[in-house]
Each structure stands twice: as structure tokens, then as C-alpha cells.
Amino acid sequence: MKPWRIFKPDKKEIEREIEEQMRFHIDLLTQANLQQDMSAKEAKEAALRRFGNVEQIKDQCAQIHRRSQPLTRALKTLFLLLFLSGVLVRVFNTELHLTHLGDLLIAVPALGSLLLYVRSLNPSSFMAKSETSSPLMLSERTDLPIPAYDQRNLTPVERVISDR
């Protein structure tokens, strides 16, 4: 691997790795379907249906890879160290000009971390999606109850409130 690839990885190589991983998982699902006495075509179609929206999952995998780049991790570590040093300055110094320095050492990494978080957001995650396009869709059944609800159709928070 070339040294500059640490900071800017090859996009084609990343896409190829993601496609290989996805193909592997779809093949596993297909094999599981074949063991249930399905034809090859039915098994492949069922595996793709169960896997979900392939393009959307591919995009999300690429985003996860971008978030885990070494430069980003180094920057997050630097922000954490600056934040902790700001807290230490605030706790152990009572002089006014040093407490302002501590405030800055707390605010700058907090805002920098917020910037990194916002940059990693995907606009498509805020758009309305149909129920069949879920990236984590592994089950074709939508009539299953949500496990957070009890027999009275209450969530855990609603149960605590109603118990008072």
C-alpha cells in the first residue's frame, strides 16, 4: 500500500472489497435457502429479498469505511486529549485567565467532534423510506410485534409512568 493511501484510500478498491463481502453474505443466504429445497433461482431471489436494498447497504458500508479512516481517528484522539486537558486546567486552576484557557480547551474539541459527526451524516437517512427498503431487512414478515411493547401495548417508559 502506498503511503498516501493512508489518508486517501483508493475508492475503487474499497468498492470492490464491499462488493465481495456483500456477495459472500448473499451467497451464504442463497446456500441456506437451497438447503430448504428451493430451486437455485428461487433461493437467489429470496436471499436478495431478505438482504434488502443492496445499493443502499453498499453506500452505508462505504460511509462506515470513511468514518474509520486513520486521520479521522487521530483527530478524534487529539480532540479527546484537548478536552481532558481543558477539564484539568479548569479543575486545578483558579486564576481567571487560566480558566478561560480551560474553557477554550473544552469548547474547541467539542465543536470539532460535532463537526466530524455532522460530516459523517448521510442525508438519505433523513428521507422517508418505504418499509421494504430497510437496509437491515432480514425478515419478510412485518406482522411481528415489536419486542419493546408488553401485553398492554406499552413501552418500558410508559410502564414505569403507569406504575406510579
pLDDT at res. 7: 46
Domain ranges within the chain, ordered by starting residue: 9-68, 69-123
Q: Mean pLDDT throughout 37-44? A: 88
pLDDT at res. 104: 92
DSSP-derived secondary structure for 14-58: HHHHHHHHHHHHHHHHHHHHHTTT--HHHHHHHHHHHH--HHHHH
Compute, in degrees rounded to 10, the torsion defined by CA atoms 116, 129, 147, 143. -170
Residue 78: pLDDT band (50, 70, 90) is very high
Q: 135-147, pLDDT tens digit by residue?
A: 555 555 555 555 5
- Return d(Cα 149, Cα 157) in angstroms, integer: 10
Q: Quick one: how far is CA 129 from the chain centroid?
A: 17
